[in-house]
Amino acid sequence: MKLATWNVNSLKVRLPQVLDWLAANPIEVLCL
């Protein structure tokens, strides 16, 4: 199982990079 966490405060600013990263690194659980 792959798990990833992300700092929600910076998510809005970096959304394009986050989506690219998620597409390249399939994970099962994303914790915000």
**Alpha-carbon separation of residue 18 from 8, 28 (angstroms):** 11, 15
**Residue ranges per domain, the chain?**
1-32
Q: What's residue 14's pLDDT?
A: 86
Q: What's residue 16's pLDDT?
A: 92
Q: What's residue 25's pLDDT?
A: 92
Q: What's residue 10's pLDDT?
A: 78
Q: What's residue 9's pLDDT?
A: 82
- How do residues 1-32 score in pLDDT, each as one tens digit? 899 888 888 778 888 988 898 899 989 998 88
For the chain, the C-alpha Rg in angstroms (whole number) is 9
Lookup: tokens for 19: 């989506």
